[in-house]
C-alpha cells in the first residue's frame, strides 16, 4: 500500500510554469581588453647624435648652470637633456640579456683598458690617504679630502694616457672625473656623482675615444670596476649619502646598477624580480648581473637583516611580474628622480660637450663660488629665482635631503664593537 509520502513525491502538476523563459540567459565572461598602450609608458631611447668635430668645440671648465627652478625647466627642454637620456638609455639597450661574463678582458678595446687602468690608479691612492681615527664616528672621515686632492693631482697624467693632449680639453673632461668620487667639502656621495662618472665617459665618446662599439664593455666592465672602487671609498671614508631619502630611497648611493641590471635580466629564463630575496641566487648570479650585485652589497652593509626592513622600495619593486616592468620603472625613475630633480641637478656641470643653453643662470651672475670652492655645507640657489641659501655644516636643507651618517659606517662600527659579522634580526621577523 503506497504511503502518503511516496504519493506526494510522485505528484507532478500538469500545468507547471516554463521557467526557461524567465531565467536570465547565461553568457560567458569576456576577459577585459588589454590596453594597447600603457597609461604611463616608459621613456624611449632617443637617437644618440654623432660627435661634433673637435675643431668646433671650444673647451671650457664646466660650471653649474641649473641654479633655480627656471634653469631646471630650460634644461629639461634642451638638447643636452636629450643627449644625456640618449646616452644612458643607449648604454642600457646595448647590454640587454647580456651577463658580465660575456665581456672578455682579452677582447677589450685599448681605450677601455686605459679607462680601467685609471680606476686602478685611483684605488691605489686610497692606501696613500688612510682614514683618520675618529673615535667610532659614523660621519664622513676628513681624510677623504686628501684622497680627492691626490686624484686632482693625477688627473692630467691620467688623461694624457687617454691620448688627450690639449690642456683645455683635459681641464674640461677631467672635471667630471674629479667630481665622480664625491664632494670634497661635504664628504658625501650620491646619484649626482655617479652621473658625473657617466658624463666623463660621454665626453670620451664625444672626443671619439670611446666608440659606440665599446658601449657594452662600458656597462659590463668599466661600471663594475667603478662600483667596486666607490664601495672601497665608501667603506674607507664613510661617505655620507648625498640627499638621502633614508630607508625609503632606492639606494643610499647608486642608481644606475638597477637600471642597467634590469636590462641585463630582461628575458632571463630563471631569475625573477622576487629572486632578490633568495641568498643562493644572489651568491650564484651577483657576479654576472649588476642588479643582483647591488642588492647583495646593500644587504652586506646594513645592520639589520631583510630587504623589507632596510630597503622597502627594493622590496616593493621585487613584487613586479617581470623584468620588463622593472626596467620600464627604472627608466621613468631616472628621468623623474635624477634628471628631473633640482636637488640633484643643481650640482650638474655644463661645458662645451654637454652645453648649457641661453637663458640659464651662471655662477658669476649670482655671486656663487665654484662647487669645489664652496664653504662647508654648500651654497646654492633653490626654490625661487635670485634667492639663495647656505647650508650650515651641521644641518641640511629640505632641498638636499637630510644629513645622515653613512649606513656603511654604522655597520662597520657596529661590527668593530660586537666583533662579529652577523646581522641582527628585527624582533618582528
| The pairing of beta strand 349-350 with beta strand 379-381 | unpaired
C-alpha 317/C-alpha 313 separation (Å) is 6
CB 59 within 8 A of CB 168: yes
Q: Say what the alpha-carbon torsion angle 361, 365, 368, 369 is, to the nearest 10 degrees.
A: 100
pTM of the model: 0.82
Give the pLDDT of residue 226: 98
Q: Is residue 244 within 8 Å of residue 190, measured between CB atoms?
A: yes
CA angle 60, 61, 64 (to 5 degrees): 115
The predicted structure's pLDDT at residue 413: 57
* Spatial CA neighbour of 311 closest among 321, 319, 302: 302
Question: What whole-number distance in Å separates Cα of residue 207 and Cα of residue 50?
Answer: 10
What distance in Å separates the CA atoms of residue 11 and residue 1, rounded to the nearest whole number?
16
Cell of 45: 631611447
Of 261, 337, 335, nearest to 297 (Cα)? 261
Please report the pLDDT score of residue 395 as a whole number: 37
Q: Tell me, what's the pLDDT at 396?
A: 40
- The distance from CA 343 to its chain's CA centroid, rounded to whole angstroms, is 15
Tell me how far CA of residue 386 lies from CA of 149, 371, 382, in angstroms.
Answer: 32, 18, 8
Of 363, 362, 367, 390, the closest CA to residue 377 belongs to 390
Q: Which residue has the cell 655671486?
A: 367
Virtual torsion, Cα 252, 256, 258, 263, nearest 10 deg: 180
E strand spans, 273-370: 349-350
Q: How far is 206 from 59, CA to CA, in rounded Å?
A: 12
pLDDT of residue 247: 47
Please give the average pLDDT of every successive group of 10 residues along the chain, which has 429 residues.
54 65 70 63 93 92 94 96 98 98 95 98 97 78 96 98 96 97 92 95 97 98 97 93 64 91 96 94 96 92 71 89 96 93 91 95 82 50 39 42 54 55 48
Strand partners, 189: 241
Query: What is the per-residue pLDDT for 241?
Result: 87
The C-alpha atoms of residue 187 and residue 47 are separated, in whole angstroms, by 37
For CA atoms 372, 377, 382, 386, the dihedral sign is: negative
User: What's the pLDDT score for residue 134?
Assistant: 76
Q: Which cell goes with 255? A: 642608481
**Beta-strand relationship, 349-350 and 63-64:** antiparallel
Amino acid at each position: 500500500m503506497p504511503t502518503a509520502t511516496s504519493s506526494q513525491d510522485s505528484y507532478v502538476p500538469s500545468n507547471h510554469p516554463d521557467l526557461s523563459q524567465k531565467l536570465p540567459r547565461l553568457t560567458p565572461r569576456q576577459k577585459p581588453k588589454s590596453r594597447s598602450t600603457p597609461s604611463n609608458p616608459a621613456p624611449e631611447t632617443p637617437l644618440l647624435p654623432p660627435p661634433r668635430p673637435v675643431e668646433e668645440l671650444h673647451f671650457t671648465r664646466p660650471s653649474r648652470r641649473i641654479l633655480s627652478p627656471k634653469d631646471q625647466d630650460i634644461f629639461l627642454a634642451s638638447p643636452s637633456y636629450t643627449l644625456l637620456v640618449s646616452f644612458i638609455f643607449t648604454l642600457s639597450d646595448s647590454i640587454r640579456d647580456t651577463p658580465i661574463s660575456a665581456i672578455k678582458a682579452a677582447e677589450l678595446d685599448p681605450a677601455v683598458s686605459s679607462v680601467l687602468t685609471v680606476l686602478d690608479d685611483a684605488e691605489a691612492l686610497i692606501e696613500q690617504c688612510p682614514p683618520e681615527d675618529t673615535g667610532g664616528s659614523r660621519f664622513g672621515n676628513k681624510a677623504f679630502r686628501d684622497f680627492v686632492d691626490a686624484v686632482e693631482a693625477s688627473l692630467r697624467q691620467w688623461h694624457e694616457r687617454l691620448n688627450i693632449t690639449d690642456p683645455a680639453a683635459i681641464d674640461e673632461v677631467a672635471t667630471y672625473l674629479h667630481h665622480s668620487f664625491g664632494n670634497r667639502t661635504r664628504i658625501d656621495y650620491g646619484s649626482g656623482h655617479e652621473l658625473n662618472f657617466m658624463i666623463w665617459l660621454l665626453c670620451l665618446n664625444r672626443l671619439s675615444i670611446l666608440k659606440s662599439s665599446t658601449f657594452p664593455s662600458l656597462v659590463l666592465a668599466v661600471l663594475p670596476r667603478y662600483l667596486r672602487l666607490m664601495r672601497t671609498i665608501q667603506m674607507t671614508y664613510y661617505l655620507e649619502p648625498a640627499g638621502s631619502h633614508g630607508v625609503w630611497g632606492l639606494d643610499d648611493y647608486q642608481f644606475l646598477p638597477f637600471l642597467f641590471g634590469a636590462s641585463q635580466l630582461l628575458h632571463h629564463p630563471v631569475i625573477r624580480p622576487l629572486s632578490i630575496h633568495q641568498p643562493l641566487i644572489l651568491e650564484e648570479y651577483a657576479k654576472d648581473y649588476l642588479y643582483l650585485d647591488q642588492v647583495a652589497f646593500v644587504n652586506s652593509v646594513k645592520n639589520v637583516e631583510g630587504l623589507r626592513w632596510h630597503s622597502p622600495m627594493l622590496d616593493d619593486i621585487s613584487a613586479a611580474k617581470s623584468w620588463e616592468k622593472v626596467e620600464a620603472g627604472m627608466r621613468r625613475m631616472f628621468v623623474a628622480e635624477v634628471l628631473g630633480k633640482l636637488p640633484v641637478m643643481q650640482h650638474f656641470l655644463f661645458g662645451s660637450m654637454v652645453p648649457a643653453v641661453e637663458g640659464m643662470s651662471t655662477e658669476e651672475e649670482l655671486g656663487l663660488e665654484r662647487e669645489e670652492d664652496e664653504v662647508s655645507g654648500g651654497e646654492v640657489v633653490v626654490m625661487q629665482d635670485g634667492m639663495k641659501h647656505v647650508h650650515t655644516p651641521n644641518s641640511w636643507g629640505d632641498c638636499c635631503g637630510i644629513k645622515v651618517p653613512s649606513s656603511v659606517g654604522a655597520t662597520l662600527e657596529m661590527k668593530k664593537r660586537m666583533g662579529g659579522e652577523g646581522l641582527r634580526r628585527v624582533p618582528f621577523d
